Chains A and B, each alone.
Chain A
Amino acid sequence: MRRVLTLALLLGCPAPEEEREAPVLSDPVELVPPDLEGVDLPQAFADAFRLIAGVDTRPVWAGHLDALDHAEPGCPDLYLGNPDVDSIDIRTRAKGRSWADYCQQSDGTIYSGYSYWENSLTAMGDPNTTLGRTADATRLLLGDGAVSRDDEMLYEFVGEAEDSLSLTTTSESETWTYTSRIAGVATGQFIFDDSPTPGGFRVGLYRRSTGGDADTLETRGNLYLFEHRIADRFDSFAVDLEFSGPLGAGPDDCTLEPTGWIGLRDEDAFWYDLVFEPRRGGDPQDPEYDNEPYTGCDGCGTLYLRGLEQPTLEVCMDFDFLWDGLLDHPRIQDYAFTLRNLGEAP
Chain B
Amino acid sequence: MLRTLAPLPILLAALALACEDPASQTELPDLPDESDSWPSGGFDSDVEFPTDTGVAPDGREPDHWLYIYQLGSFQLPDGEAGEPPSLLGELVVYEFVDYALPSPEDDEDEDTDSDPVDSDSDPVDSDPVDSDPVDSEDELRPWELLEDDPLHCEVVYTMAGEPSEHPCDGCDLTYEITFTVTEGDPGPCFDPDLPADGAVLRIGWSWSEGIAYYDYANVGVWTPWFWIAEREVEALEGDSDSGVPTEPPGPPEYLLTWTDVIGVSLEPEEDT
Chain A interfacial positions (CB closer than 8 Å to B): 65, 69-75, 77-86, 94-97, 100-106, 121-123, 133, 135, 332-333, 336, 338-346
B265 A71 Cβ-Cβ under 8 A:
no
In the assembled complex, B110 has its CB within 8 A of some CB on chain A: no
A79 B264 Cβ-Cβ under 8 A:
yes
A336 B216 Cβ-Cβ under 8 A:
yes
A77 B50 Cβ-Cβ under 8 A:
yes
In the assembled complex, B260 has its CB within 8 A of some CB on chain A: yes
A72 B37 Cβ-Cβ under 8 A:
yes
Do A339 and B219 contact each other (CB < 8 Å), given the known contacts A100-B60, A346-B212? no
B33 A65 Cβ-Cβ under 8 A:
yes
> CA of A341 to CA of B34 in the docked complex: distance in angstroms?
7
> CA of A343 to CA of B261 in the docked complex: distance in angstroms?
11
The secondary structure that dominates the B interface is loop
Residues in chain A near residue B35, CB distance under 8 A: 69-72, 343
> CA of A259 to CA of B193 in the docked complex: distance in angstroms?
43
A104 B55 Cβ-Cβ under 8 A:
yes
Give chain B interface residues in 197-229, CB to chain A under 8 Å.
211-213, 216-221, 223-227
Residues in chain B near residue A104, CB distance under 8 A: 53-56
Chain B interfacial positions (CB closer than 8 Å to A): 28, 31, 33-35, 37-40, 43, 50-58, 60-62, 66, 68, 190-193, 211-213, 216-221, 223-227, 258-268
For B219, give its contact among A65, A100, A332 (CB under 8 Å). A332
Counting residue pairs across A and B whose Cβ atoms lie within 8 Å, the total is: 150
* Pairs A–B under 8 Å by Cβ, sample size 9: A79-B62, A80-B264, A96-B192, A101-B56, A104-B53, A121-B221, A340-B225, A343-B38, A346-B212
A73 B263 Cβ-Cβ under 8 A:
no
B28 A103 Cβ-Cβ under 8 A:
no
The secondary structure that dominates the A interface is mixed
Residues in chain B near residue A121, CB distance under 8 A: 216-217, 219, 221
A338 B216 Cβ-Cβ under 8 A:
yes
Do A75 and B40 contact each other (CB < 8 Å), given the known contacts A65-B33, A69-B35, A123-B217? no
Known: A65-B33, A73-B51, A345-B40. 14 other contacts (CB 8 A): A74-B50, A77-B60, A79-B62, A85-B268, A97-B262, A103-B52, A103-B54, A104-B53, A123-B219, A336-B223, A338-B216, A338-B223, A344-B260, A346-B213
For B218, give its contact among A70, A100, A123, A342 (CB under 8 Å). A123
User: Residue on B with the closest CB to A338?
Assistant: B193
> CA of A341 to CA of B220 in the docked complex: distance in angstroms?
16
- A64 to chain B minimum Cβ distance, whole angstroms, is 12
